[in-house]
Structure 1
Amino acid sequence: MDKAPKSTSLDLAALEELLQQGAVRTLFQPIYDIAKQHVLGFEALSRGIAGSNLELPDRLFSLASAHGKLSELELLCREKAIARFVEQDLPGKLFINVSPNTLLDPSHPKGETLHLVEKYGLAANRVVIEVTEQDKVDDGFLLLKTIEHYRQLGFKIAIDDLGAGYSGLKQWSELRPDFVKVDRYFIDHCDQSIVKREFLKSIIELAKVTNTSVIAEGIERLEELSLLEKLGIEHAQGFLLARPAHQPPVILDAAQVMQLKLRPQGEYSEMTMSVGLLAQIESAIDQATRCKDAHKRFEQNKLLMSLAVIDAQQQPVGLLHRDQLTEVFAAPYGHALYAKKPVTELMDKQPLIVNENAKLDVVSQQITEQEFDIRRHIIVTRDDRYLGLAPLRDILKHITEEKIRHAQHANPLTMLPGNVAINEAIEQRLRAHHNFSLAYVDLNHFKQFNDLYGYASGDSVIKLLADVTVQVCSQSKCFVGHIGGDDFMVVFDGTDAEHLCHQIINQFELQSKAFFTSEHVEAGGYWATNREGQKQFVPLLTLSIGLVRPDLDSCNNSHQVAALATDAKKEAKRYRNSYLFVCNRRKPAAPVVRIKSQAQECLV
């Protein structure tokens, strides 16, 4: 049980006066979407009277809790935060801290938060209720009901200080929050801790599955922000970005983006992670280090296999391996000959050195081309200075796992990425706010062709369409995916989407004629029986392509974008010959609401 803070009658009197006068100050700290490089919202932070014993929140709230005033204080802070947020016309969402114990307090007024947002004209869906994980809650079921009540009123829910409290993942699974804020312990020097990095990676994976947004708070160092961005965390908060203020900044300007070394919008990788994420932080040795001192270092840590050797500018010049040094020292007179010599005498002078941002597939190619020993490490650098060592085994393991993952979701006929990868490619561009076009490519008259010429020919035609599409799209930056059957999707990042689609049509029509008899080619088609048993003339294979350029501000997910492309493809299918339909509609269609007639109501 928490100990009550030592307080005096003067402190209690000051608290009573603060509550009566409403003398709470509200500061706002921005939470940024670093992928889209704009503000997500602001966390409201309350302070007592400046210069008093109750100025800092820890002291203020502890005292209020000890004297049964926590509910009253939190309501005061909540109203001040909402009022100031509206007064300053701040963009995005307002994040408000709420203690679970306050929510469960029988004396805590019900419906007060909704009353406040209505009073000040703020939409409920712009308010995020932050429930801290640090407080122990005895009645978890009642808390769940209370949170669900807030959600039904339109408020968003966040778990604050994830990883710092009692229930952790259990609370996450039960509350189903819109946001989780990772406790700053896991952010602090996360770039230097393998354990923290692995924890963050696990949280990100879980967030993807549960459709939850992760916010990293307490970022104070550039290296922390750089790692978080590479891991895929999109929302960030901390002194490095902006300190709490009465009038907080509402944008990340170009100078700040450059200073923070954030990636330019739209810069992303379709496939692999960066090698820097596998780098193990292990201190290097200076090139003047004697061999006997390096040997002592290896003896102190039996798990240490390699040591990077650096010069005075912290730049790597070589790699010293345990087994090579041990072998030399074990030889007759080896110790006497090399003990006092610098490590440069025995080190590998041509190790593989790569920048932390190098992609794993590129590094893997370098490894295989140079035939490195799989037991070795490579040196990872940042700004040409030594950063850490990455084991070759780990790199190849991740490459293998990624290839397996893509193979699992690839189409077995064409080996092109399937639905999962297509959706990921679209989501990636939506998150990065990167303009793109999406084409839905579909074969016409394929069933009749398949029935007449057989399944083997049908498969060959689908492979031809895949080959033609990939070949044409190799001229520009594109992502080609195979939905299934005779349906394909292409994501275009450039402005040449229409031109490339016409090329796909022309090349396919030209090459697909090789699958027909000369009589059918000369006639432009063939007679076949339809499903009703009637004879009809079927043209040669043609393509229908629907092309859309989604509005990034209106389309929230890949399903909405795919629906746009599907509608465009349906329009293209109206034409008998190959046709490219360029859709002018860029926003998702409004949902259709059907009102039942009285007769229908009676039947329900």
Structure 2
Amino acid sequence: MRKVFDLFKHHSECSFFPVLDRADKPRGLVCEKDLKRYIYSSYGRELLSNSAYRKRLIDFLTPCPSIDIHCPAERLLEAYAAADSPPGMIMTENFTYAGFISQAALLQIVDSKNLAAARDQNPLTRLPGNNTIIDYVQQVLEDHCQDYCLVYFDFDNFKPFNDTYGFRIGDRAIALFADLLRKLLPRQSCFIGHVGGDDFFAGFRALVHEDVHQRVSDLLDQFQHEAQSLYDAATRERGYIEATNRHGDLVRFPLLSCSAAMLWIPATAAAFTLEDVSQIIARLKKSAKASPIGQAEATIDADAITGERPDA
């Protein structure tokens, strides 16, 4: 305890110090506020230094959350938010002490992420845009602690719908889907974004396959049902619209729906790049549009891609 008093004496700018065991593993913090009644007592220092008093450094430890230094910033902020307003976070590497990040530094991270998100936000849906989505996928690929599922949503037959009813109604369809994403997907474990136009993105973290499948299916069904309100009564009754295709031919197009390409990324997945993920999802999009239920999925396992197929 004499060493503790000397530390606070020679580093008056510090109000706490991280405490490590002999293996450099963090045990918590020793805080000046917990020692004040001894510091300001005439005999407090001598009392704590007396082995007969039986007060040791471990008796003054305050718990402090710790997290691996390689975890993404979102995990860092989640761990801090779940704690009881600690002065910061202990950073570890291979479970040993690597450093300390202060409360002020954490607030700077929050501010910078909020500013970047605001700049990247889609003006129509108020959802994160491409830059934020790319950052999220990169963090997923670097996070080997949890399983993820990346889902790419793409409207079916949106161009003829947009050409027939105009951009204002087209924007209503896009806003409708964004509202359903917010309503039907769990905020605690799901990231949602707007790639642009009629393309959307969702990232599920640590959810079982059955739960993700059910939520995605419910979302697609709900959108297909509610999108019918955007058509006139006669078109709803017919179940299709007539419009020209890319070749200039007049053809019948089904009413609006949406397809979903799902890419599972387990914590044990092999090292893949953003380009790899983009190419896999592009192939899955084609499979999803060919599927009778509008879904296709693949899994990145420890060595390669498996199960790249449309759902049946």
TM tier, smaller: 0.5 to 0.7
Post-superposition CA distance 1:205-229 (Å, at most 9, x none): xxxxxxxxxxxxxxxx9859xxxxx
Compared CA separation, residues 399 and 561, structure 1 to 2 (3 A): same
Contact 2:287 2:295 in 1 (8 A): no
Name which of 180, 184, 189 aligns with 1:468. 180
Consecutive unaligned residues in structure 1, runs of 5 or more: 1-192, 194-220, 225-238, 242-259, 262-275, 292-311, 317-353, 367-377, 590-604
Compared CA separation, residues 522 and 435, structure 1 to 2 (3 A): same
Name which of 162, 165, 179 aligns with 1:453. 165
Compared CA separation, residues 396 and 222, structure 1 to 2 (3 A): closer
Code of the aligned partner of 1:286: K
Name which of 423, 427, 438 aligns with 2:134. 423
Name which of 233, 237, 243 aligns with 1:528. 243
Distance in 2, matches of 1:410 and 1:560, equals: 25
Distance in 2, matches of 1:466 and 1:409, equals: 16
Distance in 1, matches of 2:290 and 2:102, equals: 59
Q: CA deviation at 1:507?
A: 1.0
Contact 1:413 1:463 in 2 (8 A): yes
Code of the aligned partner of 2:273: N
Secondary structure at the counterpart of residue 510 of structure 1: helix
Contact 2:122 2:128 in 1 (8 A): yes
Compared CA separation, residues 563 and 470, structure 1 to 2 (3 A): farther
Post-superposition CA distance 1:112-132 (Å, at most 9, x none): xxxxxxxxxxxxxxxxxxxxx
Name which of 516, 540, 546 aligns with 2:255. 540
Look up the match of 1:492: 204
Compared CA separation, residues 527 and 484, structure 1 to 2 (3 A): same
What is the TM-score of this pair, normalised by structure 2?
0.64
Secondary structure at the counterpart of residue 533 of structure 1: coil
Look up the match of 1:413: 124
CA RMSD, 1 decimal:
4.3
Compared CA separation, residues 395 and 431, structure 1 to 2 (3 A): closer
Distance in 1, matches of 2:269 and 2:143, equals: 12
Secondary structure at the counterpart of residue 246 of structure 2: coil
Look up the match of 1:432: 143
Contact 2:138 2:274 in 1 (8 A): yes
Contact 1:450 1:457 in 2 (8 A): yes
Code of the aligned partner of 1:471: K
Show the 5 A alignment for 1:270-349.
283-284=32-33, 286-287=36-37, 313-314=59-60
Distance in 2, matches of 1:585 and 1:286, equals: 55
Distance in 1, matches of 2:228 and 2:239, equals: 10
Post-superposition CA distance 1:240-268 (Å, at most 9, x none): 58xxxxxxxxxxxxxxxxxx57xxxxxxx
Q: CA deviation at 1:476?
A: 7.1
Look up the match of 2:87: 380
Show the 5 A alignment for 1:158-173.
none
What is the TM-score of this pair, normalised by structure 1?
0.35
Secondary structure at the counterpart of residue 125 of structure 2: coil
Post-superposition CA distance 1:42-87 (Å, at most 9, x none): xxxxxxxxxxxxxxxxxxxxxxxxxxxxxxxxxxxxxxxxxxxxxx
Structure with higher strand content: 2
Post-superposition CA distance 1:270-329 (Å, at most 9, x none): xxxxxx9xx9x98546135559xxxxxxxxxxxxxxxxxxxx95478xxxxxxxxxxxxx
Query: Does the alignment pair 1:400 with 2:111?
Result: yes
Q: CA deviation at 1:508?
A: 0.6
Distance in 1, matches of 2:212 and 2:132, equals: 20
Q: CA deviation at 1:506?
A: 0.8
Look up the match of 1:48: none
Q: CA deviation at 1:530?
A: 2.7
Name which of 492, 506, 515 aligns with 2:230. 515
Name which of 273, 276, 281 aligns with 1:557. 273
Q: CA deviation at 1:565?
A: 1.9
Look up the match of 1:39: none
Code of the aligned partner of 2:280: L
Q: CA deviation at 1:488?
A: 1.5
Q: CA deviation at 1:573?
A: 1.7
Show the 5 A alignment for 1:560-575.
560-575=276-291
Secondary structure at the counterpart of residue 461 of structure 1: helix
Distance in 2, matches of 1:388 and 1:428, equals: 20
Secondary structure at the counterpart of residue 122 of structure 2: coil
Post-superposition CA distance 1:330-358 (Å, at most 9, x none): xxxxxxxxxxxxxxxxxxxxxxxx95569
Total equivalences in the alignment: 249
Contact 1:364 1:395 in 2 (8 A): no
Code of the aligned partner of 1:563: Q
Q: CA deviation at 1:390?
A: 4.5
Contact 1:529 1:536 in 2 (8 A): yes
Look up the match of 2:95: none
Distance in 2, matches of 1:475 and 1:396, equals: 21
Percentage identity across paired residues of the two chains: 25
Compared CA separation, residues 542 and 400, structure 1 to 2 (3 A): same
Distance in 1, matches of 2:169 and 2:217, equals: 24
Code of the aligned partner of 2:163: D
